[in-house]
Chain A
Amino acid sequence: MTDAGSLRMTEASRSNLPPLELHVPEPRFRPGDAVDYSHLVIPQAGAQARPDEGCAASETHPLCLDLVRVLGEDHRAVGPWDPKLDPETLRRMLRLMALTRAFDDRMYRGQRQGKTSFYMKCTGEEATSIAPAMALAGDDMVFPSYRQQGILIARGYPMVDMINQIYSNKADKLKGRQLPIMYSAREASFFSISGNLATQYPQAVGWAMASAIKGDTRIAASWLGEGSTAEGDFHSAMTFAAVYNAPVVFNVVNNQWAISSFSGFAGAERTTFAARAIGYGIAGIRVDGNDPLAVYAATRWAANRARANGGPTLIEHFTYRAEGHSTSDDPGQYRSVQERSEWPLGDPIARLAAHLEALGEWTQEAHAAMDLELAEQVKAAAKAAEANGVLGHGLHHPFRTLFEDVFEELPWHLKEQSEQAIRERRIKWPEWKEEDS
């Protein structure tokens, strides 16, 4: 027990102490600032050790503070992490990344033209979904965030179906219920995207635990942005994965910005995001997210480890969000436009193209021709989807579908409300017939 006298003593002795100060992180560059990234430590490609996939988790922990890189300044693949992919596979990877970018460009324009309400690009981050999708088995279950459209593209999910969802039209497999880009594609082993942040992380662990309970061979993988690592769900997922040694690959896409908040607001001033793995005692790798070969190799390492009952791995993809958070965002308000052009890890598509060129397996002419072809491919898919309608122009799912799938069966109160919705249509548009809705 403290008596009043000792309390006064404490107050007196405190008078010599400096006032406490609150630290509030502030990014290095704001609009108009010249950008200088010399503070970023970019280790040489090929310099990082590659421990055995079955190693103790602690052997990976130096990699959590390093940066696994394969493609060097000379565009050659070097070091123990070189996945040694054949040129055919490399060209496929390049094509899928370029297709994702072409898709984003067209859908962004579609939103600006009023064909839908919202869109999110993944420009500059294509490697963080295309390369993992190629390194995982096609039936490994993925629990993505909202910027992994590349996974669906890599898994060959029909682009028309993606656009139908974005336009919320009558052919949208999700019946016009979800915000654009919040896909769900069970046939592609792609879990329904929530829109709420980090919720998919513990779910991926649960799926992986179920796969282990059932003696399956499939593993799970999940993605979130560095900002979302602040959510409790991220930490719950880490704990469960560590406790049950769940066969899961965690991807943290560190694209430096969570809308207007730089990575310092998720803790980046103190340590890396990969270093979260150290505290939980699981394997971790920090990888150059704009180096598709390094991303592929890290994912392959983690997938092989998980499949061999070696447990979870956390992979931080160090990359840059080249565009706004979404069509509702204006990054020019809070960050320097020079950040993108000065980004020291370049662009994943340009880097892989340069690598293929260095191998004598690609030319700039072939690249230009590919870009034209992909733009045409996306345009054709968009036209096909537009025939099913765009948002707000009447071509949507029938009104009664509004009430389906709340429960497996329609309870009385939803039946009544469904009838009410139909009645309201008839009042507003007396000529309207339910079958044309």
Chain B
Amino acid sequence: MSEQPSMKKLNMIEAINDALDVMMERDSNIVVMGEDVGYFGGVFRATAGLQKKYGRTRVFDTPISECGIIGVAVGMGAYGLRPVPEIQFADYIYPGLDQLVSEAARLRYRSAGEFTAPITVRSPFGGGIFGGQTHSQSPEALFTHVSGIKTVIPSTPHDAKGLLIAAIEDNDPVIFFEPKRIYNGPFNGYYDKPVEPWSRHPAGAVPEGYYRIPLGKARVVREGEAMTVLAYGTMVHVAQAVLAEKGVDAEIIDLRTLVPLDIETIKASVEKTGRCLIVHEATRTSGFGAELSALVQERCFYHLEAPIERVTGFDTPYPHSLEWAYFPGPVRIGEAVDRLLKA
């Protein structure tokens, strides 16, 4: 019997900071870099205190060049380091795409394993903060479409720490998207009501020290019989609140890792409930929901009692003033739940 680790209450930023701290302490090959991550500690404070503790050659600011940040991370990985670069907003990742898609993702394959890219690219993503089209996007499907990159999205401080540690230890390139809307508390989509802080949420309790949550393992947030809900990031909390309000006995699955996907958990749940609701904030067309829908249809067709429902952001750039009309909130989810139950 192992001893229970002591727990502390952390918000998601603190949990990410803690994961970086724990890993930097354990492994001197880990370096953290990105715009404003050094002395300042990051615009969201995720790297606060790390430069002071580990020095300027392990935690440092970079030029404003996403191509450069990811490209040098690939080179550092080739040397044997384990870089954890930060891209300040997911919306700014595109100049780094060639280095991610053509280089990091394929390095193992094209060199037959001679070289690898054990890098974890952290980046805040998602909307709900009036950030307009350059601070709100959810581009996860661009990365799940690329062979050779793992895509991880936590939804709680507890998971953020354990998943980030697993991502850093993973020998393949990982995109680690942090839902910035829930950095401080589990925002549930009711934008006109106050958000409770993580300190009052059970998943705000984070074990001290090292622990990992394996990549590729989903979390069953709530067991239920009426339908299966597949979600990740902020939308886990939104879906949970809506289904609770409607009194639906739903099984809610937080995917946590999009690639590799925990297909077994999904399959077992849909076979049990016979109904499937997929929720993501990203735009609909060719979103990750399309992949989920195809998989569920291919593997659970004879168990389905209703057409699969997808609830997503609209196929427009992220707007500013009409942010809440865009956001897949309680009304949109509620309609889909009603359709699923009536079918």
Residues in chain A within 8 A of chain B (CB atoms): 22, 24-26, 30, 117-118, 168-169, 172, 176-180, 182, 194-197, 227-228, 230-233, 258-261, 265-267, 328-329, 333-334, 391-392, 396-397, 399, 401-403, 406, 413-414, 417, 420-421, 423-425, 427-428
A259 with B35, Cβ < 8 A, contacts A117-B130, A179-B320 known = yes
A414 with B92, Cβ < 8 A, contacts A230-B68, A328-B43 known = no
The verdict on B322 contacting chain A, using a C-beta distance below 8 Å, is yes
The verdict on B297 contacting chain A, using a C-beta distance below 8 Å, is no
The answer to whether B321 and A168 have CB atoms under 8 Å apart is: yes
Q: Which residue of A lies closest to B326 (CB)?
A: A402
Chain B residues 41 to 83 lying within 8 A of chain A, measured CB to CB, are: 43, 56-57, 60-68
B319 partner residues in chain A, CB cutoff 8 A: 176-177, 402
Question: With the chains together, A244 CA to B334 CA distance in Å?
Answer: 57
Most chain A Cβ neighbours within 10 Å, of B63, B91, B135, B334? B63
Question: With the chains together, A227 CA to B285 CA distance in Å?
Answer: 35
Question: With the chains together, A385 CA to B88 CA distance in Å?
Answer: 33
Question: With the chains together, A427 CA to B334 CA distance in Å?
Answer: 10
Interface SS, B side: loop
Nearest CB in chain A: distance from B160 CB, A: 22
Nearest CB in chain A: distance from B90 CB, A: 12
The answer to whether A260 and B36 have CB atoms under 8 Å apart is: yes
A179 with B131, Cβ < 8 A, contacts A261-B61, A266-B64, A399-B325 known = yes
A403 partner residues in chain B, CB cutoff 8 A: 314, 316
Nearest CB in chain B: distance from A143 CB, A: 16
Residues in chain B within 8 A of chain A (CB atoms): 35-36, 38-40, 43, 56-57, 60-68, 91-92, 94-95, 130-135, 284-285, 314-317, 319-322, 325-326, 331-332, 334-335
Given contacts A195-B91, A232-B67, A413-B315, 9 further A-B contacts (CB under 8 A): A24-B57, A24-B61, A178-B132, A178-B133, A195-B134, A196-B92, A261-B35, A329-B43, A427-B334
A402 with B39, Cβ < 8 A, contacts A178-B133, A179-B132, A179-B134 known = no
Question: With the chains together, A218 CA to B332 CA distance in Å?
Answer: 50
Nearest CB in chain B: distance from A266 CB, A: 6
A197 partner residues in chain B, CB cutoff 8 A: 64, 92
The answer to whether B331 and A231 have CB atoms under 8 Å apart is: no
B320 partner residues in chain A, CB cutoff 8 A: 117, 168, 176-180, 391
- 7 interchain residue pairs of minimum CB distance: A176-B321, A179-B132, A195-B134, A230-B63, A260-B40, A168-B321, A117-B130
The answer to whether B63 and A267 have CB atoms under 8 Å apart is: yes
The answer to whether A424 and B62 have CB atoms under 8 Å apart is: no
**In-complex Cβ contact of A396 among B132, B321, B334 (8 A):** B321
Question: With the chains together, A182 CA to B133 CA distance in Å?
Answer: 11
**In-complex Cβ contact of B56 among A24, A258, A265, A391 (8 A):** A24
Q: Which residue of A lies closest to B135 (CB)?
A: A179
B325 partner residues in chain A, CB cutoff 8 A: 399, 402, 421, 424-425
B316 partner residues in chain A, CB cutoff 8 A: 402-403, 406, 414, 417
**In-complex Cβ contact of B95 among A169, A180, A232, A260 (8 A):** A232
Question: With the chains together, A273 CA to B65 CA distance in Å?
Answer: 16
Question: With the chains together, A421 CA to B324 CA distance in Å?
Answer: 10
A231 with B132, Cβ < 8 A, contacts A168-B321, A176-B321, A177-B320 known = no
B67 partner residues in chain A, CB cutoff 8 A: 231-232
Q: Which residue of B lies closest to A22 (CB)?
A: B57
The answer to whether B65 and A260 have CB atoms under 8 Å apart is: no
Q: Which residue of A lies closest to B316 (CB)?
A: A406
Most chain B Cβ neighbours within 10 Å, of A172, A180, A197, A266? A197
Instruction: Name 15 interchain pairs, CB-CB below 8 A, sorted by A.
Output: A24-B61, A117-B131, A176-B322, A179-B132, A180-B320, A230-B68, A231-B95, A232-B67, A265-B64, A334-B40, A391-B130, A391-B320, A413-B284, A414-B314, A424-B332
A265 partner residues in chain B, CB cutoff 8 A: 61-64
Q: Which residue of A lies closest to B39 (CB)?
A: A334
A26 with B56, Cβ < 8 A, contacts A177-B319, A197-B64, A232-B95 known = yes
Question: With the chains together, A26 CA to B59 CA distance in Å?
Answer: 13
Nearest CB in chain B: distance from A197 CB, A: 6
**In-complex Cβ contact of A266 among B63, B284, B321, B322 (8 A):** B63
A424 with B335, Cβ < 8 A, contacts A177-B133, A195-B134, A397-B322 known = yes
Question: With the chains together, A419 CA to B95 CA distance in Å?
Answer: 35
Nearest CB in chain B: distance from A49 CB, A: 32
Question: With the chains together, A26 CA to B38 CA distance in Å?
Answer: 10
**In-complex Cβ contact of B39 among A228, A260, A427 (8 A):** A260
Nearest CB in chain A: distance from B40 CB, A: 4
B38 partner residues in chain A, CB cutoff 8 A: 24
Nearest CB in chain A: distance from B131 CB, A: 7
Most chain A Cβ neighbours within 10 Å, of B36, B68, B322, B326? B322
A414 partner residues in chain B, CB cutoff 8 A: 314-316
B132 partner residues in chain A, CB cutoff 8 A: 117-118, 177-180, 182, 195
The answer to whether A230 and B321 have CB atoms under 8 Å apart is: no
Q: Which residue of A lies closest to B63 (CB)?
A: A230
B68 partner residues in chain A, CB cutoff 8 A: 230
The answer to whether A417 and B331 have CB atoms under 8 Å apart is: no
A420 partner residues in chain B, CB cutoff 8 A: 314, 332
Q: Which residue of A lies closest to B312 (CB)?
A: A417
**In-complex Cβ contact of A333 among B40, B62, B321 (8 A):** B40
Question: With the chains together, A24 CA to B59 CA distance in Å?
Answer: 10
Nearest CB in chain B: distance from A223 CB, A: 15
